[in-house]
Structure 1
Amino acid sequence: MEAIKKKMQMLKLDKENAIDRAEQAEADKKAAEEKYKQVGVRKGVEQLDGGED
Structure 2
Amino acid sequence: MEMAQEALGLYIVSKLEHDEDIPNASAIDTITPKDGFIAYVTTDIDKYKGW
TM-score range, shorter chain: 0.3 to 0.5
Q: Which has the larger radius of gyration?
A: 1
Higher relative contact order (CA 8 A, sep 6+): 2
With normalisation by structure 2, the TM-score equals 0.37
Q: TM-score, normalised by structure 1?
A: 0.36
Q: Which has the higher helix share?
A: 1
